[in-house]
Structure 1
Amino acid sequence: MTKNVVEDDEQTATKSKSSRTRERLLDAAAEVLSRKGFSGTRLSDIAEQACVQAPAIYYYYPSREDLIEEVMFVGAAAMRTHLEAVLATLPPDSTASERIAGAVEAHLRHELEISAYSYAIIRNANQLPEAISRRALAEVSAYNDIWRGLVADLQASGQLRPDVDPPLARMLVLGALNWTAEWWNPDRGPLEALITTAQSMVLHALRR
């Protein structure tokens, strides 16, 4: 094995370890933000959750704010890409109602089962300085645009109730879905039951 190959392998291993540590810090920060909120989150809490020394965090992020900003952006982007991926798996001939039902399930699964980042975003979005939330809010806006299109498709198909205002309906639905993070836990029953109930309630509220 040549010297260059050995050096390349060492650099790859170092990079991989660095990437894993960065990911662990983001996961830990999301978990702490979910429990303690922006004002209550300290680097020492994140370090303890990630099983690293607090000063080591500065190797990856210049400040607490930079780490939290990255958590919010990564989490918001993951919510958007997850919803897009779920909708892309639906059959091409899916109805507007079926696509909304799929979006409801995607939202709840990501929020309650897949990622602690979702709850971190929901809990802290209104607490963050603009500089920290800017990139995340752009992703949230893109996420809302997907839902805006889903409701518009329902209206275009003639299935949206005439007494329902589309923008208000979209915000009410997303608000209700987001709020489940505040009260739901597995002791209340399986997640599938929550998803089925939410789909039924959303579609009955929106459709003629």
Structure 2
Amino acid sequence: MCDLFDTLGPDAPTLLHGWTTRKMAAHLVLRERDPIAAPCLVLPGPPARFAERRTSDMVEHREFGWLVTRLRCGPPLGFFRVPWVRSFPSLNEFFVHHEDVRRANGLGPRADLTPAMQAALWRNVQRGSRYLSRRVRGVGLDIAWQGTGLRHTVRTGQATVELAGSPGELLLYLFGRRSAATVEVSGPAAAVAAIQEGRFGM
């Protein structure tokens, strides 16, 4: 991701409305290095606005190269060095935001993901799918790793929809990047419509 930042520069678009690569880098640095603002990134209302102000301050006062260098160094000692954090929330965060940058700049899905990375993403899809789909009501949901026979029931319902794709594409879909994710959606028409219109993500 840092190599891509270096290639694209600070003003390239991302899939997030209004976010440039500079703001993306600032967001990621703040997440790992600002112990006051970081928890506010996942909270609504005043905490979220506080985190946004801190991010804006970083965008305004820090050079893009400085942000990328800090990001490339990895997190400092503390919470974000905990193995579980690195393998679950941080892997999700960096994978999804890397794709936010790639796909907004005409780069497709990565073809170089190792089997170990695919397996790690599949574990995270299973771990996080119920929470990430929590706003979708009244519909059953299954996810399937296309081409492997691996499936996971997220929630049951009278009508069930299946999302099928590679682990990374499923993760993008569950994080709300529906239009950018290569995922097959199948099931009864009304249930599919509920899924396609539902809100996924954090």
How high is the TM-score relative to the length of structure 1?
Answer: 0.26
Q: Point out which structure has higher relative CO (alpha carbons under 8 A, 6+ apart).
A: 1
Higher helix share: 1
How high is the TM-score relative to the length of structure 2?
Answer: 0.26
Higher strand share: 2
